[in-house]
Copies of this chain bind each other. A is one copy, B any other.
Amino acid sequence: MEKEQEVNENKQELNENKKEAHEKLQGNLLIGQGGGPTSVINASLAGILSKAKQNEGIHNIFGLQNGLEGIFVKELFTLSKEDDEFIEKLKYTPGAILGSSSYKVDDPDKEAELIKFFKDNNIKYFIYIGGQDSMKSLDHISKVAKKSEYDLKVIGVPKAIDNDIPITDHCPGYASAARFIAESTIGAGRDLEATKSYDDVAIMEVMGRNSGWLAAASSLGRKTVDDAPHLIYLPEKEFNEEKFLQDVKEIYEELQFIFIVISEGIKDTEGKLIADKDPEGPAKYLTKLLYQEMGLKGRVHKLGAMQRSFAFSTSQIDVDEAFMVGQQAVTDLENGWSDIMITLDRASGKDYYVVTGRTHLAEAIKETKNMPKYLINPEGNFVTYAYYQYAYPLLGKELPNLARLSGIPVILT
């Protein structure tokens, strides 16, 4: 509990919106899932359900079908009767079980319809699990309700494999995607090393339009200089082709193979996306460049939608935290909060320790969190040890120590 105290003391206090003594909840709760699925977005739903079911003031628990679209097609799931066995399975179920969409509430007709729907169905509480776009929609819906003088409490639960929501130490969903990317890099790296008589280079292309959090995660399985990845390029730093060729040359000469990870969003010195240089994508463009300039034969790995859907590399810490933020959203409703997003706050110190906190929705949507400078090396081609310290504990159980032969080959007759 000492740690918990420390975290709370470090936190900015929120004084608005919090009622001094909370009144008993009275009405129906609506839950939605927005944006792309993650390995643990259903664990957050499980957390909400497990807690909401215990509150007698919440009469019905409804689930939106396909995000905000569900409000307008007026088809809802009734979740009140789902049992503990369902909730336990849900923690480990990939996808977004309610369905998702990019549907927005953005014109007066829709707004009126939304308020009518909430009134007609006595929905007084709305918890939305999603990324920054979903938090923006939630903030907007809350404002529409206020304008209509409809008493609605809204709470946001973050999820993002991109890890780009500010204020929270990290986003539920990131840790599992990071673990999958680290494991994929270990495997594909060993594969290249085993088949370096076929190919010289592998380039793995990872999600991340503006931020390099996912690409950075490829570093987490690296234990020796031979291990992949050898270079990582992120959107936060400009990508210089000359420098890139020099980086590759140095490492290739030493190892006779090289494994590179790039974010899909890397940009050249003029701010132009490398992705725009080739219809087959930036990794393909760079393998062609390496072949042309240095004669290196390359292969490409694109992790694609696996980054958010492969749920068998789930980090147990991620599952537990996603569940925890879900539960906390209900607790915060019970304590009279509204217009906030639940956060994960990390204690300083040697051991990893987080508690839930909260921030105004307005703060959570103000800007996008890219990787800060101190997590990227000055050369802009790898992460720093500080990133490793930040991200490694999120992965849950440690990544394995793999076998390495003890000697270099001997020359025989």
Residues in chain A within 8 A of chain B (CB atoms): 33, 36-37, 42, 62-63, 65-67, 69-70, 74-79, 81-82, 86, 89-90, 92-97, 99-103, 117, 120-121, 183-184, 186-191, 193-198, 299, 301-302, 304-306, 308-313, 400-403, 405-407, 409-413
Chain B neighbourhood of A76, CB < 8 A: 409-410, 412
Distance (whole angstroms) from the CB of A159 to the closest CB of chain B: 12
In the complex, are the beta carbons of A186 and B411 less than 8 A apart? no
Which listed residue, B65, B77, B183, B413, touches A312 by the CB 8 Å rule?
B183
Which residue of B70, B103, B194, B311 contacts A100 across the interface (Cβ within 8 Å)? Answer: B194
User: Which residue of chain B is the closest to A399 with respect to CB atoms?
Assistant: B312
Cβ B99 vs Cβ A194 within 8 A = yes
Contact A301 B305, beta carbon cutoff 8 Å: yes
Other CB < 8 Å A-B pairs besides A42-B403, A76-B412, A96-B194, 5 of them? Answer: A74-B411, A92-B400, A96-B195, A117-B412, A301-B305
Report the Cα distance A28→B195, complex, angstroms.
Answer: 26
The residues of B that contact A42 with a CB separation of less than 8 Å are 403
Instruction: Report how many copies the assembly holds.
Output: 2
Structural contact, B195 and A37, CB atoms closer than 8 A: yes
A–B complex contacts, Cβ < 8 Å, 16 sampled: A66-B197, A82-B406, A93-B402, A94-B402, A95-B189, A95-B194, A96-B195, A103-B197, A117-B413, A120-B413, A187-B306, A190-B309, A191-B308, A191-B309, A301-B306, A306-B306
**Cα A65 to Cα B194 with chains together (Å):** 9
- The contact of A187 among B75, B198, B310, by CB within 8 Å, is B310
A82 touches B301 (CB 8 A): no
Note all chain B residues with C-beta closer than 8 A to A311. 183, 186-187, 190
Interchain CB contact under 8 A, A77 and B402: no
Bound together, the chains give a CA A270 to CA B36 distance in angstroms of 41
Asked whether, in the complex, the Cβ of B78 is within 8 Å of the Cβ of A184, the reply is no
Tell me which of B184, B301, B304 contacts A301 (CB under 8 A): B304
On chain B, the residues within 8 Å of A407 by CB distance are: 77-78
**Once the chains bind, are A74 and B187 in contact (CB under 8 Å)?**
no
Cβ B190 vs Cβ A74 within 8 A: no
Q: Smallest Cβ distance from A317 to chain B, in angstroms?
A: 17
Using A82-B406, A89-B403, A406-B81 as known contacts, say yes or no to A413 and B306 having CB atoms under 8 A apart: no
Q: Are A187 and B100 in contact (CB under 8 A)?
A: no
